[in-house]
Chains A and B, each alone.
Chain A
């Protein structure tokens, strides 16, 4: 099943853009998660049901402790839920092994983090190429593709720089290029603008907006900034581990 998930599907993605079918990219049912520290069990998510359609641009909001990051990590297969099912592109992925999760993340999911999370000792180009290397591509072809992605985010001249020599905005654009290098269907962004100034925040959000509009990329973005959430077409607000609101951002963002 994992292998099917990994099958290439460039046309599929484009077709999805055109017709916007109602088949969900991801579907969560009855997701529960609690953390244990010592003897104390702290419940974080109390049964989440959520569908994200292909081409959706979802902003996930909530106060700290509401469980939005936990939900994001579960969607990204970085963590396992205690209960519930997770269907990604029609396949139940909640029971897969750690290695299979890694393969699904590699082929299907792109991550953009608040703290960029680039590898410091590597050049910008190698950072972008790394997911392809893990996918088994040759170094030459991986760098080739990475170079094209770097051009797309407007940093073609920075290829050989070490990643920590870049500004925050540049690093985040490199991270976006890395997230897209394997043609992910789902982009998960955890507070992607949290460490950026207004100017670069606008630039990054502009890239997201364009990716969503032009390639039909499904984006789930965690933020606590209402302005950022307004960019999305759909807002999901979590409160105490439950979905408190799910609708158009303008209805709720400033509430």
Chain B
């Protein structure tokens, strides 16, 4: 029999028992739709995490004051500032580092004309924007002169700009920080969580010298942000920074560091591996549902074969070879799975639209996934349809004809 005739026969047979065909197909539809959705959601989560990680900047190290033990009580890292602007400057000179930027960070009430809100303010130097890969959406960034002269200028996050300056251009406006006027010179692009969990869109940047904070002595900073040249250089960069700081802080021999260097690449790695684990897990769930639907197909095909033994006998009598019978039933299983697969694809597309409408992440069905789904559907059909079809094809014609 030719493929077209196999298809023809398969459609006729499936059409003659519509309810059963539809129910069997439903299993395939759900199986394929879930595999597709799982793959796509896994991908979406991965790219979502990748996007979030991009806001953090790549190959980041962060230096914080250590955890001194005072009177037997271990204090929180960063509680006792001992890092200085000079430390930052020295670190910036290290060849294994792309840059180093000191930071003073605080929570202040900000006044924007009539409105006010409490926000995180980050005092830093221009290098910070480069290290973290923060872009300027409008206006300009803080520059070296602003830091040298302690100019009262500010760059605000995009969400603040949208919220408080919806009806006027933010650049050129004056906001009050701790009672002091700061001129807004730029707006940061993008949003997302930064390293310490602050929302980038709600951050306010000012020159570190203009930061209205008084620490124990001048020149102290909260932390220093570092960036290595590449992921490969993370260990070198870390080692160099550690040696330099030990030297500068006069820590010798086996005395403990009074600072902590955190490697943020490992955070990124954790995020990525969580995403990968998630998509593998989701894929396994999808695969199990396909397995279940495959068993359903095998079951129905076995019933179908035993119901149609007489038909098989008649076909054999008039000249159907074993392989014609094999292909007849395999064709039915295949067509069932392919139609189910295509409907499942449609369902998955609808599901993706549904997930997207939640606005949390963007799920899209790639052509690769569609190919995988259709390929999987036909594999399920071939695999689970083979045994019943093979059984039908090895029946003896006379035994089939004797059955009623």
Contacts and interface: CB of A to CB of B under 8 A. Distances in A.
A134 B322 contact: no
B320 interface: yes
Nearest to B400: A78
B350 interface: no
B321 A133 contact: no
A102 B400 CA distance: 14
Interface string A49-77: 00000000000000000000000010010
Nearest to A182: B319
Interface string B293-313: 000000000000000001101
A131 interface: yes
Interface residues of B, number: 26
A135 B398 contact: no
Contacts of B397: 78-79
Nearest to B16: A121
- Identify which of B316, B317, B323 gathers the most chain A CB atoms within 10 Å of its CB: B317
A105 interface: yes
Contacts of B398: 73, 78-79
A190 B2 CA distance: 31
Contact of A134 (B319, B396, B401): B319
Interface string A182-214: 100000000000000000000000000000000
B319 A117 contact: no
Given A78-B397, A78-B401, A131 B319 contact: yes
Contact of B317 (A78, A99, A121, A133): A78
B322 A133 contact: no
Main secondary structure of the interface of B (DSSP, over half): helix
B12 A103 contact: no
B216 interface: no
Given A78-B398, A79-B396, A134-B1, A119 B319 contact: no
Contacts of B396: 78-79
A103 B321 CA distance: 7
A121 B319 contact: no
A139 B4 CA distance: 10
A86 interface: no
Given A78-B398, A117-B317, A133 B1 contact: yes
A76 B317 contact: yes
B314 interface: yes
Interface string A95-112: 000110011011100010
Contacts of A16: none
B315 interface: yes
A122 interface: yes
A122 B317 contact: no
Contacts of A138: 2
Contact of A135 (B8, B310, B316, B319): B319
A182 B314 CA distance: 16
A178 interface: yes
A111 B316 CA distance: 11
B242 interface: no
Interface string B85-124: 0000000000000000000000000000000000000000
Interface in A98-150: 98-99, 102-103, 105-107, 111, 113, 117-119, 121-122, 130-131, 133-136, 138-139
B319 A102 contact: yes
B318 A111 contact: yes
B13 to A, nearest CB: 7
A136 B321 CA distance: 12
Contacts of A79: 396-398
A178 B318 CA distance: 8
A105 B318 contact: yes
Contacts of B240: none
Interface in B249-289: none
A135 to B, nearest CB: 7
Contacts of B16: 121
B401 A102 contact: no
A106 B319 contact: yes
Nearest to B396: A79
A58 to B, nearest CB: 20
A144 B124 CA distance: 89
Given A78-B398, A134-B1, A121 B321 contact: no
Contacts of B311: 119
B5 interface: yes
A107 B401 CA distance: 20
B324 interface: yes
A162 to B, nearest CB: 11
Given A78-B398, A78-B401, A98 B319 contact: no
- Identify which of A130, A136, A139 gathers the most chain B CB atoms within 10 Å of its CB: A130
Contacts of B324: 102, 134
A93 B316 CA distance: 17
Contacts of B322: 98-99, 102
Contacts of A118: 314
A79 to B, nearest CB: 4
A136 B324 CA distance: 11
Contact of B5 (A102, A111, A139): A139
Contact of A117 (B13, B323, B401): B401
A136 to B, nearest CB: 8
A153 B4 CA distance: 29
A28 B103 CA distance: 104
19 contacts: A78-B317, A78-B396, A98-B322, A99-B322, A102-B319, A102-B320, A102-B324, A105-B319, A106-B319, A113-B401, A118-B314, A119-B311, A119-B314, A121-B12, A130-B315, A134-B320, A139-B4, A139-B5, A178-B318
Give the 9 A-B residue pairs with the shortest CB-CB distance, closest first: A106-B319, A134-B319, A79-B398, A102-B321, A78-B398, A99-B321, A78-B397, A131-B318, A121-B16
Interface of B: 1-2, 4-5, 8, 12-13, 16, 310-311, 313-324, 396-398, 401
